[in-house]
Amino acid sequence: MQPLQLAILSTSRIVDEFLQHLSEMPEISVQALCCRPQSGEKARAWAGQYGIPAVYTDEDACYAAGGFDAVYIGTANHLHYAAARRALQAGYHVILEKPFTGTAAEARELYALADQKGVMLLEAITVYYLPQFAFLQAELPKIGPVRGAMASFCARSRRYDDFLQGIWNTTFDPACQGGALNDMNVYNLHLLTGLLGTPQRAEYRPSLAENGIDTAGLALLDYGDMTAAALAAKDSDGINGMTLQGPGGCLVVEGGTNALPVVYSRLGGSAGRWSPHRRPQGRSVPHGLRVCGVCPYHSGKGHCRRAAGPGPNPAGDGSAGSAAQPLIPHKIHA
């Protein structure tokens, strides 16, 4: 299979992170970088570092030259709609960073244009394509009707102190569509609606700074007989993850809802709590607990691989890992 021939629009931080992992993705071949004229020097340096054949400082020239199948757009949030529209008009598939657009009307217009041009338009949200998400989908019917749902993704931004000191940045500028909803809660909302479907009604209750930006906020999704809650913050840290609960048990995500680092289900109303990565001494796995066998910290044989020597704890709680430990088999209960 031929690799996807890709052009990248922007020299933003997210693009920098993407390029750092390019060697791990043989399915993708970056053919062009396009940016503003003032960022040309940075783009040319990246092109040399990562072996990218072409650099452009004009989108029309980039699209006219071609040599690629799709455009990945990693610009600032408020530029997403216009940039995606130009790429679609030129006839290219588009992978658009989150948040997709500023309004639903803009999103509908872009999808209509993609249909007209016969190309694909995707938001760069990876949750739906993770094996952990497939695990949650498979386990969801086993807990019965969902009676409670909560998701949280909170992390104090590296730029928050600058913001408090009056130093401008797009992250905390309402005109640039920054804030907690667009940057963090979007992951919670994708995860919850991906599992529960579209709510009947949605409400957002932000915590606003003086300039009107939501440094934190709570989204409420009304499903008629149940309300799901999604909390996000860029001004403070929190315990991140998701819980869905019903009469038959619960589904749990531990860690960021953008990556689902640890997922498991506890079925059958069994008491107690057990971490899929750290079994308490002398405690067996509670009956009914089913651990994802395909999450990043599990092998296909259902074993938890603990890293040798000190290091981060795979459970993602920030504590240090222990010395080398043997593989721990997981008992999988139906």
Which residues, at least 6 apart from 147, have a Cβ–Cβ distance to it below 8 Å? 226, 245, 246, 247
Give the Cα separation of 181 and 103 in Å (integer): 13
Please enumerate in sequence order all residues whose Cβ is within 8 A of that of 22, keeping only pairs 6 or more positions apart, or say none.
28, 30, 50
- Residue 152: closest CA among 210, 218, 79: 218
| Residue-range domain boundaries for the chain | 4-124, 128-329
Q: What is the pTM of this model?
A: 0.81
The candidate with the shortest Cα–Cα distance to 150, out of 226, 201, 215, 203, is 226
Any idea which fold 4-124 has?
A: Rossmann fold (3.40.50)
Query: 306 and 282 in contact (C-beta within 8 Å)?
Result: no
Query: What pLDDT, on the 0 to 100 scale, is given for residue 311?
Result: 31
Both tokens assigned to 180: 């907690």
Angle at which helices 186-196 and 131-139 pack, to 10 degrees? 40
pLDDT, tens digit only, all 334 positions of the chain: 889 999 999 999 999 999 999 889 999 999 999 999 999 999 999 999 999 999 999 999 999 999 999 999 999 999 999 999 999 999 999 999 999 999 999 999 999 999 999 999 999 999 999 999 999 999 999 999 999 999 999 999 999 999 999 999 999 999 999 999 999 999 999 999 999 999 999 999 999 999 999 999 999 999 999 999 999 999 999 999 999 999 999 999 999 999 999 999 998 855 334 334 443 333 334 444 455 544 443 433 333 322 222 233 333 333 323 222 222 222 222 2
Strand partners, 150: 229, 243
Residue 292 confidence (pLDDT): 54
CA–CA separation, 77 and 216 (whole Å): 17
pLDDT value, residue 269? 57
pLDDT of residue 42: 96
Phi and psi angles of residue 306, each rounded to the nearest 5 degrees, phi first:
-90, 135
The pLDDT assigned to 270 comes to 53
> Phi/psi of residue 283, each to 5°?
-105, 130
Give 161's Cβ-side CA count (13 Å radius).
1
Question: Which secondary structure element, helix H or strand E, spans residue 246, and what is its range?
Answer: strand 241-246
CATH number of 128-329: 3.30.360.10
**CB–CB of 217/205 below 8 Å?**
yes
Neighbours of 204 (CB within 10 A): 14
49 backbone dihedrals φ, ψ, rounded to 5° = -70, -40
Q: What is the DSSP string of 129-192?
A: GSHHHHHHHHHGGGG-S--EEEEEEE---TTHHHHHTT---GGG-GGGT-SHIIIIIHHHHHHH
Which tokens in the block code for residue 190? 């994708």
Residue the block writes with tokens 């949605």: 202
Which pLDDT value is given to residue 334? 26
CA pair distance 203, 221, nearest whole angstrom: 7
Q: Which DSSP symbol is given to 285?
A: P
Instruction: Kindly give the pairing relationship between strand 249-254 and strand 262-267.
Output: antiparallel
